[in-house]
Amino acid sequence: MLRRRLNRLLGGDERRVDSRTIYVGHRSSSPGEPIIKFCDNRIVSSKYTVWNFLPKNLFEQFRRIANFYFLIIFLVQVIVDTPTSPVTSGLPLFFVITVTAIKQGYEDWLRHKADNEVNKYPVTVLEQGERTRKDSEKIKVGDVVEVEEDETFPCDLILLQSSRDDGTCYVTTASLDGESNHKTHYTVSDTEKDLETLNATIECEQPQPDLYKFVGRMHIYKNDQEPVVRSLGPENLLLKGATLKNTQRIYGVALYTGMETKMALNYQGKSQKRSAVEKSINAFLLVYLCILVSKALVCTILKYVWQSRPGQDEPWYNEKTQRDKETNLYLKMFTDFLSFMVLFNFIIPVSMYVTVEMQKFLGSFFITWDKDFFDPEIKEGALVNTSDLNEELGQVEYVFTDKTGTLTQNNMEFIECCIDGFQYKYRDASSELDGFCVADGPVNKVQEKAGRAKEELFLRALCLCHTVQVKEPTEQGPVDGLMDQVDAGVPHPPQEQRGFIASSPDEVALVKGAMRYGFTFLGLESRNMKILNRNNDVEMYELLHVLTFDPVRRRMSVIVRSNSGDTLLFCKGADSSIFPRVRQEEVERIRMHVERNATEGYRTLCVAYKYLSAEEFAQADAGLMEARLALQNREEKLLAVYNQVETDMSLIGATAVEDRLQEEAAETMEALQGAGIKVWVLTGDKMETAKSTCYACRLFQRSTELLELTVRTLEDGGRKREERLHELLLEYHKKAVQDAPPLKGGITRTWSSETQDYGFIIDGATLSMVLNSSSESNSSRYKSLFLQICQNCTSVLCCRMAPLQKAQIVKMVKNSKGNPITLSIGDGANDVSMILEAHVGIGIKGKEGRQAVRNSDYAIPKLKHLKKLLLAHGHLYYVRIAHLVQYFFYKNLCFILPQFLYQFFCGYSQQPLYDAAYLTMYNICFTSMPILAYSLLEQHICIEVLLDNAALYREIAKNGMLRWRPFLYWTLLGVFHGLLFFFGVRYLFSNPALQDNGQVFGNWSYGTIVFTILVFTVTLKLALDTRHWTWINHFVIWGSLLFYVFFSFFWGGIIWPFLKQQRLYFVFANMLSSVSAWLVIILLILLSLLPEILLVVFRKPRGPNSRQTAAVTPLSYKHLKAGQ
Amino acid sequence: MMASSYNAKDEDGHITVTGPGGGAVLRSKKPENTAFKQQRLPAWQPILTAGTVLPAFFIIGLLFIPIGIGLFVTSNNIKEFEIDYTGADTSSPCFNCSQNFSWNSTSPCTCTVPFYLEQPYESNVYVYYGLSNFYQNHRRYVKSRDDSQLNGNLKSLREPSKECEPYAYHNNKPIAPCGAIANSMFNDTLELFYNDPNGTSVKILLGTTGIAWWTDKHVKFGNPGGVDSNLSAVFQGTTKPLNWRRPVYELDSDQSNNGFVNEDFIVWMRTAALPTFRKLYRIIGKSSQMVPTLPRGNYTLEVVYNYPVRSFEGRKRMILSTISWMGGKNPFLGIAYITVGSVCFFLGVVLLVIHHKCGNRNNGAEISN
């Protein structure tokens, strides 16, 4: 969002030049003008064609560093005379590439199919007055297209004509943003009924992806008159992909086609988030690359040192070929180096990438499959948009949560209102028409009421000042039926059945609230709002302007003209945005109510009104029109006009709407805090409301000391804000940071009673002061002070936040010291920026549309699901993948180390220790399945315990299993095993007569014995680590060992016609016939696993909660520590 | 070894809950309640604790120590005699032969090395030759062979594989067998004489068969043209390896041990793992129950010195050894088993002590809580 805004600011001037002009129906006013070619209406979401699939796909695959590395190795093997045949690295690479290519090809084929379906869809186009059928892809910009009910729009259209009388049409954008409510779009006023003679041009901005933004201008030419200019906004634009509803037929002119439609522009993928684990992998990879290079270097150097001794380089029994002799010495050194690289290249596991990817892809299914995430209300479960971040869920340190719709249900209920300083509380659904009953009003005016006129004005304001639509009963014919009803004065269907649709549930609550008090909003038709008042009379108001709501202004207004001809402006909004714009004497009476309501956790809105004189209106009208027509900076201009109009109003009253907490919100928050996660609430709501929500969620406890940094506390001292800010920051810093006892591991222990908990509250205005302080030096200082305070508080509440500020905060924490992993959770469009900014973005499938869900990485139906998602799934995923990564490096290290050591015994000649088949199959077949099964199924601690014991989450915090220490441990383990395997067999081979018939074993037997020990040890090591043996684990672990044995028999049992050398012929079987070989295999396997077992037993669990967990799962927990 | 607890989690079967009416929608979206999808597969959750590992240590200790002792005793009972006949020292009998070695000399140089066996060798005695500093595992060397040719493939006989370079062709004739391994085949002739106390020297019969792997002799290696073919005819058109004194079809008079299936040749072709190695040369079969195979006394080793090793500072040995069920003499396994066994046993004791103490303390703490 930030980027988009920036783009607009920077690219502003350019864009104006680049605005496009469209001739409606291709009727150019000045025929000489060249018609600019726009792209056709073909949607191409597919990436490949039959022709370019192979090169393009290969190119893309080899752009991945791992694939490229293996390609290089492969090429080296092909070109240089290397110890292993190109097949050993070519086959796995080929396998990986082919599988990926097939998968991508299939996906692309599906896309082709979908594209064709869209592109060949028949549409009706008006051409020279005739309706012709065309394929959708043939639509050109400027064509007038006809769309019927329930059809989707074939391209972005400007609505010219609707079959509805009021010039509107209804649209759902479910396929675009998931919002299934009907949205009203309007025809451009003054377009002629006869589209054939319509002579008009449209000037509009170049295509841009924002679905909710559009600016344009239409010039209508009528018989040599001065052209009429009409502004075009998003309300005139019908987007491709949306569906026409409740409207028989519309005509529109194609504006953006094909790949330039907003839908197509939105297809472009989001920037990829990378998990911390991936970064760790890359770091480890670098280490192993260094090991690899140094191994190769050492071998190359030693080789030439060794060869310099007489008789070693070329003894009589082993002469070089002619070509070898002629090769330049340095070139030979270089190729030797490459050969060693190839020989040891298996240390960098190819298959790890494949396995990690498979683990992530398959593992994410467990989230979608989890029935605990299924919400019976919306009949949906969790959604995984990216599987790349599974393990990140186990690493979260900061949770940024939205309040409305996330912590609370966003299920608004009108609770009470305050009119002119008197409190009205709605007790129950009393049938009294005069449903008000006055509750405890201001102390001095108990049991009094405001004047009836004021009451009615207030209720009218509630009825008029909104953008709510009335949902029409579908079985009735379109509008006409209802209109007839109303006109005839027939009583309406019972009020409760009346459905309202609005983008904000507050508005619905308010309209419903007004309905209970006798004022019913009947709907809007042809710019007339109809209200049924207490006397069952229908009042009509002409809707002149809607000054739309936005989160920056935090208020909205309507300008209406009553039947009596008065022009009125009704405005409702947050107190902070209303109070400065009304007469001050009225404020005090209301303020008290508002604040009390807010502390009770209600959402409050203030309502004000203003009579507009004719001149005032004319001025406002002109201003608004002009601003709306502007192609550039339209929003800024509009804002200026809005601000100018919404002044000098009089306050009528305030409303209080309750927003209930989500189910188990408090438990979830408590669990998160118990897990050492810091929860920050970022809300646009006001401080008091948000604070009470925080208390209700137990984010703040009674004992929590609140540190407030808000506009109010800043103004307390009566000094300059800046000074006061400075003072407060220092004070809080002293309190929370300097005086606080040193923390262990950087995690606040919220459960311990000794330390004082702090809660921090800051509001948007103060935050921007902190972040954008006047002086540069202060700014960075304040920022770091602020961060330090926040990091030492258990919870932080940021209220009055604009969406961008939310993202700013997330970014600030994300980039702070230690780069903590952040998670944002929200449900509305205003949370999108922070969802995109955080490491992990979670969308809640709430009521405010699907924007958050679309932009999130994971979507869950309810907040309460976050607990299981983090504590159980996240924890398990992290442990699984961390183990997977460490294990992979380990098993390849002890795979290659013997091969490296063997070089010292074979004259540094790059002789491989293992047979090529073993080299190839080791990572693909023999050892890959057990770790994959482990990384999908392991539950080192079972899910119930993880959920009950939030503190377990801390054990893996800060990438605990992938830091350098555990990495070193695994590396040392690999080295130890490698040394043991090699030298154990080396001493056995000091007498190679190992069979009871005196026959001797050769080098391939040597390699096979080492390899057998290796495969068994590595697999059994995993078995030792497996805490959760399902039948799959059993099957896979014992299965792959069995497979190894069978394969070895098979591989050695046949003379393979395609092999140049039958090196392994009966080697394995002969090995098994030797008792000594059996004994050494058993000995070495046991010896290499012994330290592991010892470590497990010797390590005592530490930490305060160790006993508790140790009691539940003694080993798993201890092992976790041991494993590091 | 592991305390196990079978934890069959509340597996409520495979029942999918569907609503009464709108089943279709529900079923499609509601996750299936199967044990696998809910990660509730019944699982065995082994727990390693000191208590469970302890017996394992004792068992390992108690198993390994006897095995180790058995291995050690067995290895010690194997009689082995080794004699270096390289001729590197001026005093050694083969010094002249090693000094005057030339590939072109037509008359073989022989030397005799006397030695004395202090113990009688009762069972079958295996004669090995040992080479040191000979890199049979050098990559260039290992791959320099053509297994297809050795298997009797006629095409490969005429066109040896490129891997055999530079030992593939000589004077435009294909070399059979080709490659560096074959070319450098060990060709010293070793003969043993027992010097009877009464003065006569008895030649000891050396068995030439049974020294190569059975599968190698019968499957992997094969003469071209089948078993009964006339070898000299089959090998017509090929040439012997450069360093050989005789062509391959004259290795042995016995037809079944001639050509590619000559066992000396097959043994040599199995490349050794390390630069110091031994290869089985001959077997001295036990002739009768009463007489030891090699009685105590003086022996003479007669060497036809054909194989030069001094150019690369190599060594040649002749080894006489008896064999047990575990193979040749090698104390390593026995020592290793005894060591590991004792360490395990010791650790078991240590663990027992620690476990006993800590276990008590833990219990106390839990009670006090």
- Is residue A800 annotated as involved in ligand binding? yes
**Mean pLDDT to the nearest integer, A115-130:** 82
Of residues B32, B142, B366, nearest to A911 (C-beta): B142
Other beta carbons within 10 Å of A5: 12
Helices vs strands, H then E, count in chain B: 11, 12
Tell me the residues of chain A between 1009 and 1028 that have a Cβ less than 8 Å away from chain B: 1024, 1027-1028
If one compares B186 and A468, the residue with the highest pLDDT of the two is B186
pLDDT attached to residue A3:
45
Residue of B nearest to A1117 (CA): B47
Strands A840-844 and A822-826: parallel
If one compares A1013 and A958, the residue with the highest pLDDT of the two is A1013
pLDDT at A176 over 80: no
H/E run at residue A722: helix A721-733
User: What 3-state DSSP class applies to A622?
Assistant: helix
pLDDT attached to residue A1043:
96
Of residues A321, A910, A987, nearest to B165 (C-beta): A321
8 Å CB contact of A990 and B272: no
Query: What are the pLDDT tens digits along chain B (369 aa)?
Result: 333 333 333 333 333 233 333 333 333 467 888 889 888 888 888 877 777 788 888 999 999 999 999 999 999 999 999 999 998 888 888 898 888 888 877 788 899 999 999 999 988 999 999 999 999 999 999 999 999 999 988 899 999 988 888 899 998 999 989 999 999 999 899 999 999 888 889 999 999 989 999 999 999 999 988 777 788 888 988 999 988 988 999 998 888 898 999 999 999 999 999 999 999 999 998 887 778 889 999 999 999 998 999 888 899 999 999 999 989 999 999 999 999 999 999 988 988 888 777 765 544 333 333
Q: Kindly tell me the burial class for residue A1057, based on how many C-beta atoms sit within 10 Å of its own C-beta (0-12, 13-18, 19 or more).
A: exposed
8 Å CB contact of A1003 and B141: no
Report how far apart, in Å, the C-alpha atoms of B101 and of each of B92, B97, B106, B304, B308 are: 15, 6, 11, 12, 7
A989–B contact, CB cutoff 8 A: yes
If one compares B85 and A386, the residue with the highest pLDDT of the two is B85
Over residues A724-756, the pLDDT tens digits come to 888 888 888 887 777 765 544 444 444 444 567
- pLDDT > 70 fraction of chain A, expressed in percent and rounded: 84
Active-site residue, A108 included: no
Helix, strand, coil distribution of chain A in percent, nearest 5:
50, 20, 30
If one compares A743 and A938, the residue with the highest pLDDT of the two is A938
The secondary structure of residue B270, as a DSSP letter, is S
H/E run at residue A971: helix A964-988
A1104–B contact, CB cutoff 8 A: no
8 Å CB contact of B38 and A370: yes
A1097–B contact, CB cutoff 8 A: yes
If one compares B65 and A516, the residue with the highest pLDDT of the two is B65
A1108–B contact, CB cutoff 8 A: no
The secondary structure of residue A807, as a DSSP letter, is H
Quote the pTM value: 0.79
Residue bearing tokens 């460490």: A886
- Is residue A507 annotated as involved in ligand binding? yes
**Mean pLDDT to the nearest integer, A432-438:** 40
pLDDT at A627 over 90: no
CA distance A250 to A443: 59
**Structure ipTM:** 0.91
Residues of A in contact with B212 (CB under 8 A): 999
Residues of B in contact with A383 (CB under 8 A): none
CA distance A690 to A685: 6
Least confident interval from A182-191, A689-698, A1113-1122, B75-84: A1113-1122
CA distance A694 to A688: 10
The whole-angstrom distance between B271's CA and the closest CA on chain A is 5
- Residues with Cβ within 8 Å of B164's Cβ and at least 6 positions away in sequence, in order, are B144, B145, B146, B175, B178, B179, B180
Residue bearing tokens 């010219």: A160
Over residues A953-1011, the pLDDT tens digits come to 988 888 888 889 999 999 999 999 999 999 999 999 999 999 999 999 999 999 999 99
Least confident interval from A305-314, A353-362, A843-852, B77-86: A843-852
8 Å CB contact of B135 and A380: no
Residue of B nearest to A1113 (CA): B47
Residues of B in contact with A1060 (CB under 8 A): 146-148, 161, 163
A608 φ/ψ angles, rounded to the nearest 5 degrees:
-135, 165
A and B: number of Cβ contacts within 8 A: 268
Of residues A994, A1074, A1115, nearest to B48 (C-beta): A1115
Question: Comparing C-alpha atoms, which of B267, B109, B112 is closest to residue B181?
Answer: B267
CA distance A204 to A231: 10
pLDDT band per the 50, 70, 90 thresholds, residue A440: very low
**Mean pLDDT to the nearest integer, A938-954:** 90
CA distance A1007 to A1001: 11
pLDDT attached to residue A958:
85
pLDDT band per the 50, 70, 90 thresholds, residue A1081: very high
- Residues with Cβ within 8 Å of A242's Cβ and at least 6 positions away in sequence, in order, are A152, A153, A171, A172, A173, A175, A176
Residue of A nearest to B166 (CA): A321
pLDDT at A5 over 50: no
CA distance B308 to A543: 112
If one compares B8 and A559, the residue with the highest pLDDT of the two is A559
Residues of B in contact with A1101 (CB under 8 A): none
Instruction: Check: CB of residue A317 under 8 Å from CB of residue B134.
Output: yes
pLDDT attached to residue A1118:
38
If one compares A294 and A72, the residue with the highest pLDDT of the two is A294
- Is residue A3 annotated as involved in ligand binding? no
User: What 3-state DSSP class applies to A167?
Assistant: coil
Strands B315-321 and B125-132: antiparallel
**Catalytic member of A143, A177, A388, A402:** A402
Of residues B42, B134, B274, nearest to A905 (C-beta): B274
The whole-angstrom distance between A942's CA and the closest CA on chain B is 9
Of residues A322, A939, A1075, nearest to B325 (C-beta): A1075
User: What 3-state DSSP class applies to B129?
Assistant: strand
8 Å CB contact of A1000 and B278: yes
Residues of B in contact with A981 (CB under 8 A): none
Of residues A319, A906, A939, nearest to B135 (C-beta): A906
Dihedral sign, Cα of residue A250, residue A255, residue A261, residue A262: negative
pLDDT band per the 50, 70, 90 thresholds, residue A1116: very low
Over residues A1099-1111, the pLDDT tens digits come to 654 433 344 444 3
Least confident interval from A124-128, A1036-1040, B81-85, B145-149: A124-128
CA distance A1017 to A1023: 10
Q: Which span out of A95-99, A226-230, A659-663, B32-36 was modeled with the highest average pLDDT?
A: B32-36
Residue bearing tokens 């030792």: A1024
Query: Rounded to an integer, what is the distance from CA B227 to the centroid of its chain?
Result: 28
A942–B contact, CB cutoff 8 A: yes
- Is residue A603 annotated as involved in ligand binding? yes
Over residues A765-813, the pLDDT tens digits come to 888 888 776 666 677 788 888 888 888 888 889 887 777 788 888 888 8
The whole-angstrom distance between B36's CA and the closest CA on chain A is 9
Long-range (24+ apart) CB contacts under 8 A made by A552-558 are A552/A639, A552/A802, A553/A577, A553/A639, A553/A642, A553/A643, A554/A684, A555/A646, A556/A465, A556/A466, A556/A467, A557/A465, A557/A642, A557/A645, A557/A646, A558/A464, A558/A465, A558/A466
B42 upstream amide cis, omega within 30 of 0: no
- pLDDT > 90 fraction of chain A, expressed in percent and rounded: 21
pLDDT band per the 50, 70, 90 thresholds, residue A31: low
pLDDT at A225 over 60: yes
Mean pLDDT score of chain A: 80
- Is residue A1021 annotated as involved in ligand binding? no
- Is residue A270 annotated as involved in ligand binding? no
